[in-house]
Amino acid sequence: MIIHVLQLGVGNVGRALVGQILSERAELKSRRNLEIVFCGLFNVNTGAFSTAGLTADQINSFPDSAGHEDPATAIAQMPKPFVVVDATSSAATLPLLQSALRRGGAAVLANKKPLAGLQSDFDALMRAGKNRLYFETTVGAGLPIISTLRDLIITGDKIERMTGCFSGTLGYIFSEIEAGRPYSQAVSAAKAHGYTEPDPRDDLSGIDVMRKVIILARLTGRRLEPDTVTLEGIFPDSMAKLSVDEFMSKIPKLDEEFEARSCNAKAQGNVLRYTASVTPKSCVVKLEAVPKNSDIGSLNGPDNIVVIQTERYHDNPLIIKGPGAGANVTAAGVFADIIKAAEVLRD
């Protein structure tokens, strides 16, 4: 079969995805009889589109050779069966995804925003094509968290509690603090390694983790608005309006507080971890002290982890752990979703 792909977003993840698909395309065709045809590539202001498929040249030289195609028009013209991939980090793709689903296409998202905003937006996506909507990489990148949760739920298991660490950046920072480094130095080092967003407060606010937790909660059938999540950021509101440089120059003022919290934790055999948890009644994102020898407490550096406790996995939970960010592992997760979508669209 042929699957036609239109990709929104050609940044780090999008670029890695294009590379992986091009390098595996021949293998997929010969081994699984699945032919991937790239019909469209779009960035914010440019796009390349052809119903017959872009040439390798057009793909590799993107966006230099691209025109100013409109993605909405392109989606309306996509040959079936097709998948629209959202590798942007924009909330504005929602109507594009909806129209792709309404036309009978599949949508594969690495982008959390359309799923983690208003409940009504999430509902609209589900109504447009629940069974053709894939978003494995929105939580834990390539780690098989969403698919595992889906399989548990669909077979009738009851989710009692999911707890985890879903920010590689904050994982790194609190591993450094555990090793005795001051908060300000840990944040600076994370920034220097490229682990943080350009403005580190985008990570330190916990909003990205909150989005993941909303997606997990909604998968279990919960209906909730973002402002009902209990969210503890790890810098004071008074520092929210500063420029990035001002913020970075002032964070040593926070060192003492975090050192005290870390020492307190250590005195009780605990360590600080930035955790998120979902139960049937609550959704909480916060910094907390957990036992050092627990699964979450022994997590190291930027790894992610999820601990899933259910009716069937009650005494001993199901645990998935590993790198939860990075262009290559995220792209691979998106790629696997595209293949799954293709197999379901096969007719």
Q: List residues with catalytic annotation.
A: 212
DSSP, res 251 = G
Q: Which of 67, 156, 194, 198 forms a contact with a second copy (CB under 8 A)?
A: 156
Contacts of 235-243 with CB under 8 Å at 24 or more apart are: 235/201, 235/204, 235/205, 239/201, 240/201
Q: Which is nearer to a second copy, 250 or 340 (by Cβ)?
A: 340
Q: Which is nearer to a second copy, 90 or 147 (by Cβ)?
A: 147
Q: Is 170 in the site for a second copy (CB under 8 A)?
A: no
Q: Which of 91, 287, 288, 313 forms a contact with a second copy (CB under 8 A)?
A: 313
Q: What part of residues 134-153 is at the interface with a second copy (CB under 8 A)? A: 142-144, 147-148, 151-152
Sole window of 102-110, 196-204, 278-286, 327-335 interacting with a second copy (rule: CB under 8 A) = 327-335
Q: Is 20 in the site for a second copy (CB under 8 A)?
A: yes
As measured in angstroms, the least distance from the Cβ of 208 to a second copy is 20
How far is the C-alpha of 20 from the C-alpha of 232, rounded, in Å?
Answer: 37
As measured in angstroms, the least distance from the Cβ of 177 to a second copy is 19
Q: Which is nearer to a second copy, 102 or 312 (by Cβ)?
A: 312
- Distance (Å) of CA 280 to CA 60, 151, 206, 218: 47, 18, 21, 10
How far is the C-alpha of 145 from the C-alpha of 86, rounded, in Å?
Answer: 19
As measured in angstroms, the least distance from the Cβ of 212 to a second copy is 18
Q: Look at residue 309 and give its three-state secondary structure.
A: strand
Q: Which of 2, 28, 124, 287 forms a contact with a second copy (CB under 8 A)?
A: 28
Using CB under 8 A as the binding criterion, the count of chain residues that bind a second copy stands at: 46
3-state SS track over 160-217: EEEEEECCHHHHHHHHHHHCCCCHHHHHHHHHHCCCCCCCCHHHHCCHHHHHHHHHHH
Q: What part of residues 251-310 is at the interface with a second copy (CB under 8 A)? A: 293, 295, 298, 301-303
Pair of tokens at residue 172 = 């790194």
Q: Which of 52, 154, 192, 267 forms a contact with a second copy (CB under 8 A)?
A: 154
As measured in angstroms, the least distance from the Cβ of 160 to a second copy is 14
Spatial contact of 300 and 175, defined as CB atoms under 8 Å apart: yes
Q: Which is nearer to a second copy, 141 or 254 (by Cβ)?
A: 141
How far is the C-alpha of 110 from the C-alpha of 131, rounded, in Å?
Answer: 17
Spatial contact of 189 and 320, defined as CB atoms under 8 Å apart: no
3-state SS track over 108-122: EECCCHHHHCCHHHH
- Distance (Å) of CA 341 to CA 83, 111, 284, 331: 7, 17, 32, 15
Q: Is 26 in the site for a second copy (CB under 8 A)?
A: no
Binding site for a second copy (CB under 8 A): 20, 23-24, 27-28, 32, 131, 142-144, 147-148, 151-152, 154-157, 293, 295, 298, 301-303, 312-313, 315-323, 328-329, 332-333, 335-336, 339, 343-344, 346-347
